[in-house]
Amino acid sequence: VYTRVRVIMPGLVTEVQIISVEGTQWETNLLTGEWQASDPRYSFNPSLLFSSETGIPAILAHELTDPILLDDIEEIPEVPGKKLYALETVMQGDSAYQMTFGMIDNEPLRVKLWVDPITFDLFRVLLVDPANPGDEEDTAWQIDFWNFGSEFEIEPPILNN
């Protein structure tokens, strides 16, 4: 699995890349951007997103409540010309809490989904984690999916050490 995570916070914009191949995992260093081995026990494992028991498929099937189909078909800038259904719903925070090692609180979350109206492919998930006491703003988590039906090979990165 290859994942690129962009973190945007007041005063900070940074990106981390993660590669996980057959149980071995690497990530880019936040400060240098260079690849380094990572311990999957202590870092985010992107394959958890696709777990049929606890990942996005399980969440979509079992944990969304009160879905609302928004009136307008929407486009997202990364896929110009592609018309997508937009839905808003609520999910229980338990699975998100587990997948993110507690970075998302274990409470109900507002969710927006963008779905292809023909294939029902999920293009984007936007989770909104309510602000904790003392914090001014909610935290938004956006997960994008592209290149449906494409085949590609993920290679271990070249380490500089």
pLDDT of res. 67: 93
Dist CA 37 CA 159 (whole Å): 8
pLDDT of res. 161: 67
Domain boundaries, the chain: 48-144
Dist CA 159 CA 131 (whole Å): 38
Using alpha carbons, select from 51, 48, 29 the residue that is nearest to residue 38: 29
Q: What does the chain come to in residues?
A: 161
pLDDT of res. 66: 92
User: pLDDT 10s digit of each residue in the chain, 161 long?
Assistant: 888 887 766 677 788 899 988 888 999 998 888 999 997 677 777 777 888 888 888 888 888 999 999 987 888 988 889 999 999 999 987 878 877 777 788 888 999 999 999 999 999 999 888 888 888 888 888 888 888 788 888 899 989 86
Which residue carries 């719903």 as its tokens? Answer: 89
Dist CA 102 CA 68 (whole Å): 27
CA angle 34, 27, 32 (to 5 degrees): 25
User: 2.50.20.20, 1.10.260.40, 3.40.50.170, 3.40.1190.10: which CATH number matches 48-144?
Assistant: 2.50.20.20
pLDDT of res. 10: 66
Dist CA 139 CA 131 (whole Å): 7
Amino acid (one-letter) located at 15: E
pLDDT of res. 37: 94
Measure CA 133 to chain center: 24
